[in-house]
C-alpha cells in the first residue's frame, strides 16, 4: 500500500457547501510520470536524446560536431515528466464543470513578504488547492447525492482514484442507524464484479452498522452536518506497466479493511453523540483562524492533531499504512486497530499476484484450518497444523499484555476470555507444538486453540513457525534475502547479546551456511552452540533471529525407492510360483520365466522332479502337416472311471508356443491382475505416492519387509504412506502417533530403500 496511497481526506457537506475538513499529508505528491524516457547523462552519445543534451550544454564548443546547431534556447520545451495541470490555470477535471469560480481570479503576489493579514490570500490558496483541484470543487464530487450514500464509492480521475463510503443523515435531518439491506444473490454478484473488469464508478451496497432503529439521536435545528465521507486517495499504477495487477481485489481490500471499518465507527459515534460534527466544528474554526492570520497549512495540520481526535487518527492511519504496520487509533475514547495485509502491494504486480492458495502449504492436502476471508489475500500465511507452533512477537507500542489482561472486566464472559488468553500466552513456547499446548491446557485444538492463534497472528502479536528442538538440534538455513542490512542487524545483535560466549551474528550466519554441506551434525547445536551450558542463551538468539525472519527451518522428508535388485527379486519369486503351478497343472511355464527351473527347489516345494512330455510339447517343431491340424478335445473314461481330456492345439497356438493350459495357469495367478507388465521391472524407480500405491507397488513394498523384525515391518507398513517427499518428519510423527526414536529405527532398517533430504517447511 506504500506504493499508491497519496492522502486521506475527511469531506463534509452542509446545506450551504461541501468542504474538505482535514487531509493528511497536507501536500499530497503523486509519483512522477514520464511522457517520454529521460536520457542518462552518463550514457554514450549514441544513447542521448540530442535536443535534451544540447539544451544542457552551456558552451557550444562542448558539443560534438554537428550537434551544436541542435541546442535549445528554452529548457521549458523539454517536458519529460507529466505534471498535473497547474491549478492556477483553471484546472477542471474530465467528469464535469464546476459552478464555483475559478481560482485563477485570486491575485497572488509573486514574492511573499511573510505571513500576516495582508498575505492571507497566499495562505488561502494553499488551503484551497489539492492535487491540481479546487478543494471545494473536489469536495462537491466526493460527497455525492443522498441516493448514492451508504454504499461503496469509487471514482477515478486521470491518474487518481478515490475510494470511500459516504454516509448521510435522514431527510428529516436526524442521524439514525440504518437497517441492514439483504439482497438475494448480492454476495455472488459482488464476487463476480470483483473478479471481472474494474469499473471506476462501481458501487457495492453495504450496511454501515447493525443497530436497532430505536437508537436514534434527535438532531437540534442548529446542527448542520448532512454528509461526511472518509476518502482514500490513490495513485493509479500505469496500466501499460507490469504494476497494473488486479485493481478490483486491491481496491476491495482497502475498502473493507480501512474505509468501511473506520466509517462505521465514525457513523456510530455521530448517531450516538454527534461526535463527527463536533470534531468538524473544532477543525473548521481552527482552519478559518489560521487562514485569516496567513499561517501555513502545515502549522494548521499540526495544531489540529492536538485539539481533535479525528485529525491524529487520520495521520496515524496514513503513516501506519505507508509503513505496512498496524494503526492504533482512538475515536471518541474507542480504541481501534486497523491494518492492511503486509503483502497487499503484490496484487499490483501480475507476475506475483497472491491468490488464496499462496498462503496454504502446497504439500499439505489435508488442510483443516481456514484463516478466513479477511486473511485471504496479501498475508502469505503458512498452514496452521497441530505439529506447528507459535512464536510470540514483541509489541513495542503498548503496555505489557500480561498486565492488561488481568482486568478489571465488565462481564464474566470477558474475564473468562482474558484469563484463557493469559493462560495460553504463559504456556506458548516454540519448543512445544500446538497439539502439545492443547493437551497441556486440556483444550480443544480446533475450538479453543486455533481461534486464539488466528487472533494473535491477525494483530501481529505472533506468527506460526516450526517447532524448535529443546536442545537446539534443529537444522536451519538462512534466508535468501535480508529485509534489513546486515550491518544494522549486527549492531542490534551486539547490543542485545553482549555475553562474550555468544558468537557474532555474521559468524553464526556463516556457520549455518557451511553446515548444510555436512551429511551429519548439521543442526544448530553442532554448528553454532557446541556446549550444553550455552543452550539457554542461544535459545534467545534463535528467537531473536526467527522474529526477524533470518532463519528457515529445514525438515526431513522421505521418499521410497524400489531398487532394481528388489524388482528382480519380486519378479523371480513370481516366476517361480507360476512355474510350480504350471508343473502341477501340466501346463507350460510362462514365456517371461527366464530362469532355469531348479529340480531341488521344485522338490522342496513338493513338486515331482519328473516333467511330463506334455510340458515340452508346445515347444516342439511340428513338421507333419497332418499333426498341425486342429485336434479335437475327446473325453473318455479310463479303466478307473476317471475322465481323460486331451489338449486341443491349432497351428497358430503351436507356432506361438501357447496352449490353453498356459491360459489356465495364468488365470490362476495372473487373474493376478496385480502384476503390471507396463511397470519397469528392471530399473530403480520412486514410489511417489505410497498411500495410493498400485498393486504392483504394493508387492514391492511388501518385499522390502522380507527378513525384517515383525514389529519394525508392521511399523513400516503403517507409516510408509507418509513417505511421499511432501510430509515433514514432524507431520509424520503426529499423524502416525509414533516417537522420533521409532521413526529413526524404521529409517535405519529400510535405509537401502529410502531417499531422505532436507527441505524448508
- Cβ neighbors of 464 (< 8 A, separation 6 or more) are 381, 382, 384, 388, 389, 390, 391, 453, 457
Average pLDDT over residues 389-397: 82
pLDDT of residue 345: 78
pLDDT range class, residue 60, cuts 50, 70, 90: very low
Q: Give Cα separations from 555 to 110, 267, 759 (angstroms).
A: 70, 51, 5
Average pLDDT over residues 457-467: 92
> Which residue in the block uniquely carries the three cell numbers 450496511?
207
- Least reliable range by pLDDT among 52-56, 69-73, 476-480: 69-73
pLDDT of residue 239: 64
Reported as half-sphere exposure (CB side, CA atoms, 13 A), residue 660 has a value of 9
> Which residue in the block uniquely carries the three cell numbers 535468501?
480
> Which residue in the block uniquely carries the three cell numbers 497519496?
6
Could you tell me how far CA 372 lies from the centroid of its own chain? 12
CA-based R_g, the chain, Å: 40
pLDDT of residue 157: 86
Per-residue pLDDT reduced to its tens digit, 538-577 = 999 999 999 999 999 999 999 999 999 999 999 898 888 8
Report the distance separating Cα 584 and Cα 580, nearest Å.
6
Per-residue pLDDT reduced to its tens digit, 292-349 = 888 999 999 999 999 999 999 999 999 999 988 899 999 998 999 999 988 887 777 7
pLDDT of residue 244: 56
Report the distance separating Cα 573 and Cα 564, nearest Å.
14
Q: Which three cell numbers stand for residue 89?
A: 490555470
Nearest to 587 by CA among 562, 567, 561, 616: 616
CA torsion angle 45 51 52 58 (round to 10)? 90
Instruction: Examine the pLDDT at 652 and tell me if it is beyond 50.
Output: no
Q: Are 545 and 720 in contact (CB under 8 A)?
A: no
CA torsion angle 619 622 623 625 (round to 10)? -160
Report the distance separating Cα 524 and Cα 474, nearest Å.
6
pLDDT of residue 688: 93
338 against 631, higher pLDDT? 338
86 against 8, higher pLDDT? 8
DSSP 143: S
Instruction: Examine the pLDDT at 136 and tell me if it is beyond 60.
Output: yes
H/E element holding 137?
Answer: helix 135-142
Report the distance separating Cα 155 and Cα 162, nearest Å.
5
What pTM does this model have? 0.69
Q: Are 18 and 136 in contact (CB under 8 A)?
A: yes
Task: Tell me the β-bridge partners of 83.
Answer: none
Q: Is the dihedral of CA 739, 741, 743, 746 positive or negative?
A: negative
Q: What is the DSSP string of 397-463?
A: TS--HHHHTT---SSHHHHHHHHHHHHHHHH--TTS-HHHHHHHHT--IIIIIHHHHHHHHHTTSEE
Phi, psi of 291 (to 5 degrees): -65, -40
Instruction: Examine the pLDDT at 597 and tell me if it is beyond 80.
Output: no
Q: Give Cα separations from 134 to 22, 93, 97, 342, 693 (angstroms).
A: 14, 10, 12, 34, 71
Per-residue pLDDT reduced to its tens digit, 176-207 = 887 765 544 433 333 333 333 323 333 333 33
Average pLDDT over residues 632-648: 41
Q: Are 313 and 329 in contact (CB under 8 A)?
A: yes
Q: Are 167 and 144 in contact (CB under 8 A)?
A: no
- Cβ neighbors of 387 (< 8 A, separation 6 or more) are 433, 434, 435, 467, 728, 730, 731, 733, 734
Name the 3-class secondary structure at 115. coil
pLDDT of residue 489: 95
pLDDT of residue 80: 61
pLDDT range class, residue 754, cuts 50, 70, 90: very high
Per-residue pLDDT reduced to its tens digit, 403-431 = 556 656 667 777 888 888 889 999 999 99
pLDDT range class, residue 270, cuts 50, 70, 90: very high
Report the distance separating Cα 724 and Cα 731, nearest Å.
12
Amino acid at each position: 500500500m506504500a506504493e499508491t496511497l497519496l492522502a486521506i481526506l475527511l469531506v463534509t457537506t452542509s446545506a450551504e457547501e461541501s468542504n474538505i475538513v482535514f487531509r493528511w499529508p497536507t501536500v499530497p505528491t503523486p509519483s512522477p510520470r514520464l511522457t517520454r524516457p529521460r536520457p542518462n547523462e552518463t550514457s554514450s552519445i549514441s544513447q542521448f536524446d540530442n535536443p535534451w543534451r544540447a539544451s544542457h550544454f552551456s558552451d557550444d564548443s562542448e558539443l560534438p560536431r554537428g550537434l551544436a546547431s541542435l541546442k535549445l534556447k528554452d529548457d521549458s520545451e523539454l517536458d519529460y515528466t507529466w505534471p498535473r495541470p497547474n491549478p492556477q490555470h483553471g484546472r477542471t477535471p474530465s467528469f464535469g464543470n464546476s459552478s464555483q469560480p475559478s481560482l485563477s481570479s485570486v491575485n497572488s503576489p509573486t514574492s511573499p513578504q511573510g505571513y500576516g493579514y495582508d498575505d492571507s490570500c497566499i495562505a488561502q490558496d494553499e488551503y484551497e488547492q489539492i492535487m491540481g483541484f479546487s478543494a471545494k470543487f473536489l469536495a462537491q464530487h466526493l460527497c455525492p447525492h443522498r441516493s448514492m450514500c451508504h454504499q461503496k464509492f469509487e471514482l477515478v480521475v486521470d491518474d487518481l482514484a478515490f475510494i470511500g463510503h459516504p454516509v448521510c443523515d435522514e431527510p428529516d435531518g436526524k442521524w439514525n442507524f440504518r437497517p441492514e439491506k439483504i439482497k438475494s444473490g448480492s454476495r455472488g454478484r459482488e464476487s463476480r464484479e470483483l473478479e471481472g473488469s474494474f469499473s471506476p464508478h462501481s458501487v457495492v451496497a453495504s450496511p454501515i452498522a447493525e443497530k436497532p432503529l430505536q437508537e436514534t439521536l434527535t438532531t437540534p435545528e442548529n446542527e448542520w452536518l448532512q454528509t461526511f465521507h472518509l476518502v482514500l486517495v490513490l495513485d493509479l499504477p500505469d496500466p501499460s506497466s507490469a504494476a497494473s495487477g488486479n485493481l478490483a481485489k486491491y481496491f476491495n481490500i482497502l475498502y473493507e479493511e480501512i474505509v468501511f471499518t473506520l466509517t462505521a465507527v465514525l457513523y456510530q459515534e455521530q448517531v450516538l453523540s454527534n461526535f463527527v460534527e463536533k470534531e468538524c466544528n473544532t477543525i473548521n474554526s481552527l482552519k478559518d483562524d489560521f487562514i485569516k492570520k496567513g499561517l501555513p497549512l502545515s502549522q494548521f495540520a499540526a495544531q489540529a492533531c492536538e485539539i481533535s481526535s479525528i485529525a491524529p487518527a487520520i495521520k496515524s492511519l496514513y503513516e501506519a499504512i505507508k509503513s505496512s504496520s498496524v494503526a492504533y487509533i482512538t475515536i471518541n475514547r474507542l480504541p481501534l486497530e486497523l491494518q492492511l495485509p503486509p503483502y497487499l502491494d503484490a496484487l499490483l504486480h501480475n507476475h506475483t499476484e497472491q491468490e488464496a492458495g499462496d498462503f496454504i502449504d502446497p504439500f499439505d492436502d489435508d488442510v483443516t484450518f481456514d484463516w478466513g476471508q479477511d486473511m485471504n489475500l496479501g498475508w502469505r500465511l503458512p498452514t496452521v497444523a497441530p505439529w506447528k507452533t507459535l512464536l510470540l512477537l514483541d509489541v513495542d507500542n503498548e503496555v505489557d499484555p500480561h498486565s492488561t489482561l488481568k482486568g478489571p472486566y465488565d462481564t464474566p464472559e470477558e474475564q473468562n476470555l482474558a484469563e484463557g488468553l493469559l493462560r495460553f500466552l504463559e504456556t506458548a513456547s516454540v519448543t512445544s507444538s500446538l497439539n502439545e499446548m492443547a493437551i497441556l491446557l486440556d483444550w480443544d485444538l480446533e475450538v479453543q486453540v486455533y481461534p486464539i492463534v488466528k487472533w494473535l497472528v491477525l494483530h501481529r502479536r505472533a506468527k506460526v513457525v516450526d517447532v524448535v528442538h529443546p536442545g537446539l538440534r534443529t537444522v536451519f538455513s538462512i534466508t535468501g534475502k535480508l529485509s534489513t542490512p546486515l550491518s544494522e542487524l549486527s549492531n542490534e545483535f551486539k547490543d542485545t547479546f553482549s555475553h562474550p560466549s555468544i558468537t557474532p551474528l555474521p559468524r553464526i550466519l556463516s556457520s549455518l551456511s557451511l553446515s548444510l554441506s555436512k551429511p551429519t551434525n548439521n543442526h544448530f547445536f553442532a554448528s553454532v552452540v557446541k556446549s550444553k551450558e550455552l543452550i539457554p542463551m542461544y535459545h534467545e538468539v534463535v528467537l531473536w533471529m526467527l522474529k526477524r525472519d533470518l532463519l528457515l527451518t529445514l525438515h526431513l522428508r522421505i521418499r521410497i525407492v524400489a531398487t532394481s535388485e528388489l524388482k528382480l527379486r519380486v519378479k523371480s519369486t513370481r516366476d517361480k510360483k507360476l512355474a510350480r503351478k504350471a508343473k502341477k497343472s501340466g501346463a507350460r511355464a510362462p514365456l517371461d520365466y527366464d530362469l532355469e527351473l531348479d529340480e531341488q527347489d521344485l522338490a522342496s516345494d513338493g513338486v515331482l522332479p519328473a516333467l511330463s512330455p506334455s510340458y515340452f510339447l508346445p515347444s516342439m517343431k511340428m513338421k507333419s502337416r497332418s499333426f498341425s491340424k486342429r485336434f479335437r478335445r475327446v473325453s473318455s473314461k479310463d479303466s478307473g472311471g476317471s475322465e481323460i481330456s486331451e489338449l486341443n492345439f491349432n497351428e497358430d497356438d503351436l507356432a506361438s508356443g501357447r496352449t490353453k493350459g498356459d491360459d489356465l495357469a495364468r488365470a490362476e495367478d495372473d487373474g493376478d491382475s496385480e502384476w503390471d507388465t507396463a511397470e519397469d521391472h528392471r530399473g530403480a524407480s520412486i514410489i511417489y505416492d505410497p498411500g495410493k500405491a498400485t498393486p504392483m507397488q504394493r508387492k514391492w513394498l511388501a518385499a522390502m519387509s522380507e527378513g525384517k523384525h515383525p514389529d519394525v515391518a508392521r511399523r513400516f507398513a503403517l507409516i510408509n504412506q507418509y513417505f511421499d517427499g511432501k510430509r515433514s518428519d514432524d507431520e509424520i510423527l503426529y499423524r502416525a502417533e509414533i516417537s522420533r526414536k521409532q521413526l529413526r529405527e524404521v529409517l535405519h532398517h529400510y535405509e537401502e530403500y529410502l531417499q531422505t533430504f532436507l527441505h524448508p517447511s
